[in-house]
Amino acid sequence: MARNNLTIRPVTVNDAEDLLAIYRYYVERTAISFEYDVPTVEEFRGRIAHIIEKYPYLAAVRDGAIIGYAYAHPFVGRAAYDWSAELTIYIDRDCRHSGAGRALYEALEQALHRMSVLNLYACIGHTEIDDPYLTNSSEQFHAHMGFVTVGMFRKCGYKFGHWYDMIWMEKIIGTHGENQPALTPYPAIREVLL
């Protein structure tokens, strides 16, 4: 999928170094990620390999360089939650507000809808007062994409000497039925969407 010199394509394990270069900033310099330590490239490859077995993992590419990525993964991980997915997105810090986030989420939502996912969730760090490590721009982005806040955990994350809240945001993208069809793993529909 291409738009304004931006291409959205599936991620492979060979993209791990490029994605990790984007993610490193969020671990080391922000409370957007609650991880303290940057994963190794091998660990990141393993994370990608695990996710793409069932879910979409997409990269935004401009002028041959990956400038952002987004993926879906299990929400909670029990069978009854199969029709729900948690989303994660990271955009290169120098490419924010470029349209890449919207393009990634639109492509991700389309893929998840084709898989029969109905509920989308985002777990987002939240702060009462913006500080050098966290603003509420992720919450604002998700609200702009149609998500609503459905829950908050107070002061549950501690990073850089600050306590942060965590919010859950939700977006419903399908109709809930009594005889819901089984989820179709992303690899089975991937070619249809490219």
pLDDT of residue 2: 47
For 17-33, write each residue's pLDDT tens digit: 999 999 999 999 999 99
Q: Cβ distance 108 to 56 under 8 Å?
A: yes
Burial of 163-182, coded b for 16+ CB within 10 Å and e otherwise, reads ebbbbbbbbeeeeeeeeeee
Nearest to 97 by CA among 56, 138, 147: 138
| pLDDT exceeds 60 at position 193 | no
pLDDT of residue 70: 98
Instruction: Round to whole Å and give the CA distance between 35 and 38.
Output: 7
pLDDT of residue 156: 96
Q: Which pLDDT band holds residue 5 (cuts at 50, 70, 90)?
A: confident
pLDDT of residue 146: 98
The reported pTM is: 0.94
Nearest to 109 by CA among 137, 82, 145: 145
For 108-147, write each residue's pLDDT tens digit: 999 999 999 999 999 999 999 889 999 999 999 999 999 9
| pLDDT exceeds 80 at position 192 | no
CA angle 180, 184, 190 (to 5 degrees): 145
Q: Could you give the domains of the chain?
A: 2-176 (3.40.630.30)
For 49-98, write each residue's pLDDT tens digit: 999 999 999 999 999 999 999 999 999 889 999 999 999 999 999 888 88
pLDDT of residue 77: 81
